[in-house]
Amino acid sequence: MDVQNPIYVTGHKNPDTDSIVSAIAYAALMNALGDRRYTAARLGTVSDETAHILERFGFPAPERIYNVRTQVRDLNFDRPPVLSAAVTVRRAWETMLKGEGEATFLPVAGEDGKLLGMVTTGDIASFDLESSENPHLSEIPLFNLVSNLDGRLWDGNSGVTALSGNLLIAVPQSGAESTFTKDMIVVTGNDPAILSAAFSANVACVVVSGAQIDPAILKDAGETVVITTPFDAYRAARLIIQSVPVERILPGTETVSFHLNDYVDDVREQTLKSRFRSYPILDENDRVIGTLSRYHLLRPNRKQVVLVDHNEVSQSVDGLSEAEILAIIDHHRLADVQTGAPIYVRNEPVGATCTIVASMFQERGIMPNKNLAGLLAAGIVSDTIFFKSPTATPRDRIMAERMAAIAGESLDELGRDIFTPSATRDTDPRKMLLSDFKHFVIAGHKLGIGQINCIDSAELLTHRDEFIAVMEQVKTEREFDILLLMLTDVLREGTVLLAVGDVDTVEEAFNVKIKDNNVFLPGVLSRKKQVVPALSVLWG
């Protein structure tokens, strides 16, 4: 998998078992076909039923994502060299010259890799001009100086680690030797008179241009550091100035930087408020990994997603409009997802998205492994309510039987395992209400429906008052016109419907009388095929 740019396969918000399993299975299918970028994702908390099934077949819950907005990590940003703070100005300049295009800025980092600032060609030019006006150098590392000069350090001053002083070029008959003082760095040729005067004045350093020197003269060097260099005096003087660590010429202003997880919209807004041409990019540990310029923001790479078990914007991941949808695999009605280009869409009237994904394995000649086959069988059984849902089709049962055979599972035993404990795994009514919850907007009316599949709805009804109290809270918080909770009883083949809000509309839709906020609807098992259409007729 490409960890930098994965393709997320995600089901809907408040994911049920079919949503989670179909995402896992579709990602596994595409990875098996050779594209290793696919990774299953989820948009909400895994329900107790789904967690139980995942544990049974040895699968971890998919990664949770909160949005697919375009981030800095999605940009084709530059990855220039990151300069160490100790690098000389000369090396920084040479690195810029070797860069591709206009390498006019480079990030500078400390030993820990964390950003210290950005150095530009303008910073180097300004430093060079200022040094011409005031050629005083302070604490230049001796190692930097010898390296920059391609020089040889003569023995006798091993204890010196850094040099300071006013830079002076001394040539024969200039009379410069009469002005020598202890705080000078003198650049000269192999002139015995000038060298003798420099040693007598105990100057800080003598740089001998031409790399030639009479060793006999060095006996009078005393504490003066002596370096020979092959460069002429003018070139040597410039190189001495450029031996300053690049850290010292960084501008004092605060550097604007961004992190990989920052959103491009926010970055774009911030860059419009600043004057910089390039901005450092930092990872989660604040280490520098690249730079971006404004032109990187013009055509960002969008995140890529595959939608399974839904095709409605309200049920999908936040920021979907900024992402590139590659495919939709679903068994619901077509809704309002729009794409900028043709995509692969597979929408079939079956009881579970897992049925479609299992069919895709078969069509491509790939047999899922034992655990994945068991997981697919469980997803089909769960979403079809053990094939009793009106959305269930013969294809669902056929595909579930094939997957169960590969997994060595009994469908009857799998069904009992899925539905028997579902009523007792959790006692938090709010969590139970929202564990498989969807909301719809129909002709301007807001509808919320939770569903709990079980074998004993009577046991769940003992918590009726708690459910109703929580439903009233959620209705108010989310401004629903109607909020319903379906306690779908597999054995009774019907649903105990709890309702708050506009219950008159619910009574009219199902031709029933609701008492104490609940009513039993025989034969009603499907939210999408029976409950939503009944209300849509009245509101439509």
Q: Which residues contact residue 300 at a Cβ distance below 8 angstroms, ignoring those fewer than 6 apart?
A: 70, 74, 75, 264
Residue 426: what pLDDT?
A: 56
Least trusted range by pLDDT, from 44-48, 453-457, 524-528? 453-457
Domain assignment present for residue 288? The answer is yes
Report residue 424's pLDDT band, with 50, 70 and 90 as the boundaries.
very low
The encoded tokens of residue 434 equal 């929202």
Residue 158: what pLDDT?
A: 61
Domain assignment present for residue 141? The answer is no
User: Rounded CA gap, 406 and 63, in Å?
Assistant: 27
| Alpha-carbon 141 to chain mean position | 41
Tell me the CATH number at 87.
3.10.580.10
Mind listing the pLDDT tens digit for each residue in 247-299? 999 987 788 999 999 999 999 999 988 878 889 999 999 999 999 998 899 88
DSSP conformation letters of 301-346? PPPEEEEES---GGGS-BTGGGSEEEEEEESS---S---SS--EEE
Same domain, residue pair 430 and 534: yes
Residue 149: what pLDDT?
A: 93
Tell me the CATH number at 176.
3.40.1390.20
Tell me the CATH number at 362.
3.90.1640.10
* pTM for this prediction: 0.69
Same domain, residue pair 266 and 217: no
User: Rounded CA gap, 307 and 68, in Å?
Assistant: 12
**Last-in-domain residue among 242, 257, 280:** 242
Domain assignment present for residue 143? The answer is no
Say whether pLDDT at 333 is over 70: yes
Residue 55: what pLDDT?
A: 96
Residue 260: what pLDDT?
A: 94
Domain assignment present for residue 136? The answer is no
Same domain, residue pair 112 and 257: yes
Mean pLDDT over 37-63 rounds to 94
Same domain, residue pair 402 and 486: no
The residues pairing with 170 across neighbouring beta strands, listed in sequence order, are: none
Same domain, residue pair 310 and 384: yes
SS3 222: coil
Phi, psi of 119 (to 5 degrees): -105, 140
Q: Which residues contact residue 326 at a Cβ distance below 8 angstroms, ignoring those fewer than 6 apart?
A: 7, 304, 305, 306, 343, 344
The encoded tokens of residue 207 equal 């740089």
Same domain, residue pair 121 and 252: yes
Domain assignment present for residue 92? The answer is yes
Domain assignment present for residue 145? The answer is no
Residue 511: what pLDDT?
A: 93
| Residue 356: C-alpha distances to residues 140, 351, 361, 362 (Å) | 71, 9, 9, 10
User: Rounded CA gap, 528 and 385, in Å?
Assistant: 13
Q: Domain span at residue 524?
A: 426-539
Residue where the block lists tokens 């590139």: 324
Sign of CA dihedral 265, 266, 269, 275: negative
Mind listing the pLDDT tens digit for each residue in 95-123? 888 875 456 889 999 999 999 999 988 89
Same domain, residue pair 309 and 414: yes
Residue 66: what pLDDT?
A: 94
SS3 track for 151-195? CEECCCCCCCCEEEEEEEECCCCCCHHHHCCCCEEEEECCCHHHH
Mind listing the pLDDT tens digit for each residue in 486-516? 999 888 889 999 999 999 999 999 999 999 9
Same domain, residue pair 62 and 199: no
Residue 156: what pLDDT?
A: 64
Q: HSE on the CB side for 516, CA within 13 Å?
A: 9
3-state percent breakdown (helix, strand, coil) of the chain, nearest 5: 40, 25, 40
Domain assignment present for residue 497? The answer is yes
Same domain, residue pair 438 and 454: yes
User: Rounded CA gap, 539 and 534, in Å?
Assistant: 9
Same domain, residue pair 347 and 405: yes
What is Dmax (Cα atoms) for the chain?
Answer: 117
Question: Structurally, how many domains does the chain consist of?
Answer: 4
Same domain, residue pair 165 and 237: yes
Same domain, residue pair 276 and 362: no
Write b or e for each residue in 447-462: b if 16 or more Cβ atoms lie within 10 A of its Cβ, otherwise e: bbbbbbbbbbbeebbe
Write b or e for each residue in 343-373: b if 16 or more Cβ atoms lie within 10 A of its Cβ, otherwise e: eeeeeeebbbbbbbbbbbbeeeeeebeeebb
User: Rounded CA gap, 421 and 51, in Å?
Assistant: 12
Sign of CA dihedral 129, 132, 138, 143: positive
Sheet of strand 205-209, all strands in order from the earlier edge strand to the far edge: 136-141, 162-169, 184-188, 205-209, 225-229, 152-153
Report residue 243's pLDDT band, with 50, 70 and 90 as the boundaries.
very high
Tell me the CATH number at 531.
3.10.310.20
Say whether pLDDT at 397 is over 70: yes
Domain assignment present for residue 135? The answer is no
**Last-in-domain residue among 393, 420, 447:** 420
**Last-in-domain residue among 373, 388, 420:** 420
